Chain A
């Protein structure tokens, strides 16, 4: 718990430091993207989702420009099954229940760009490295048509919520359009893990999404940048 508090304190300090350091930068942008995602940490499940990512970049420096990112993933319910048993002689002794696992995933990260390439049309390719992020993941489990009076599920999955530190990385191709660039991003994030508090074995693990998104950069503060030039 103390560790978590320390981590959060560290993250807040880093965030404020970055915010302060960017307030003097010339041009800022807000980027919004969305697309599809697939979890890489649960091979037994098909956790697909629709991610929505918002990045705020106080500077438009192409090299090592820092930014803040909020990422929410609308994950479609994962499908599985559970075996349930009863003592009631009037009922089948074993039934298989359909299991739905609904996941929500929210991540805040701090990162920076590493510019790799720009072509003649000013289209560019760069990496987003996000070494520090805090992610909260919640899993809600539901067994369909579960007769709780008569049956008991063996080794049932249960609801879980976990918050932890994550890292992520993205490869971005930027299509230069002037005031409103477009970009294509392939983004991957580490799982959070459930920590020691949860010793109960579950059939699922925390999510590590691989996201392919398309979005727009909205630039502002351009006047300030021109002034500085």
Chain B
């Protein structure tokens, strides 16, 4: 009886907070998810024509779901601070013979020192060209590599609890790395941002 109760509780914990993968394949762009605005916490892009996606976090005691982005404002000594949207990535195909070369992607843009969540919401519908933004890639074997990016916040909404935002991005890091067809659909807790 006791054993059954413990098993029941473990199963409840295991299944209680599991979220769906919410990867809906884009038929026109193999390996990428569709551009959505549902707070699916899914982000995909090609890096040198290889599809990448944010990984799914498996947890024994619940809480499984897509890895969410870190959305932070970094204070700098210059006239502007930096808004950073950063998330883990992994290859979204199984055909490669080598391990994932990149494990993190970051979109950086300059923001004012007084940047707040209201200012973030005001980015809705704004498209930023590559002369203002930076894109960073981290890999397992080397330091961050830096390039330029285009970034478009298509939709942003907030309620009392969540900040939901969707958009497009691409970028170049030198001549050797091209990030194309990037799209994200994130929903994060408003308490997880530091502005």
List chain A positions with a Cβ less than 8 A from chain B. Answer: 85-87, 89, 93-94, 148, 152-156, 158, 199-201
Contact = CB atoms under 8 A, between A and B. Distances in A.
A148 B27 CA distance: 11
Contacts of A199: 20, 22
B34 A156 contact: yes
Given A154-B166, A155-B36, A89 B127 contact: yes
A85 B150 CA distance: 13
A93 B35 contact: no
B150 to A, nearest CB: 4
A152 B183 contact: yes
Contacts of A201: 38
Contacts, number: 44
5 contacts: A85-B152, A85-B154, A152-B35, A155-B38, A158-B34
A86 B151 CA distance: 10
Contact of B127 (A93, A148, A153, A154): A93
Interface of B: 20, 22, 24, 27-28, 34-38, 125, 127, 129, 150-152, 154-155, 166, 168-170, 181, 183
A93 B167 CA distance: 12
Given A87-B127, A87-B169, A154 B152 contact: no
SS of A interface (majority): loop
Nearest to A201: B38
Contact of B35 (A94, A156, A158): A156
A94 B167 CA distance: 12
Given A94-B125, A155-B35, 12 more contacts: A85-B35, A85-B152, A86-B152, A87-B127, A87-B152, A93-B127, A152-B35, A152-B181, A152-B183, A153-B35, A155-B34, A201-B38
A86 B129 CA distance: 12
Contacts of B152: 85-87, 93
B170 A87 contact: yes
A148 B152 CA distance: 17
Nearest to B152: A87
A154 B28 contact: no
A154 B37 contact: yes
A59 to B, nearest CB: 49
A93 to B, nearest CB: 5
A200 B27 CA distance: 14
Contacts of B150: 87, 89
A206 B96 CA distance: 40
A173 to B, nearest CB: 47
A148 B34 CA distance: 12
A115 to B, nearest CB: 51
B54 to A, nearest CB: 18
Given A87-B168, A152-B35, A158 B27 contact: yes
A148 B28 contact: yes
Contacts of B129: 89
A34 to B, nearest CB: 35
B59 to A, nearest CB: 21
A216 B24 CA distance: 47
Contacts of A153: 35
A89 B149 CA distance: 12
A154 B168 CA distance: 10
Contacts of B125: 94
B168 A152 contact: yes
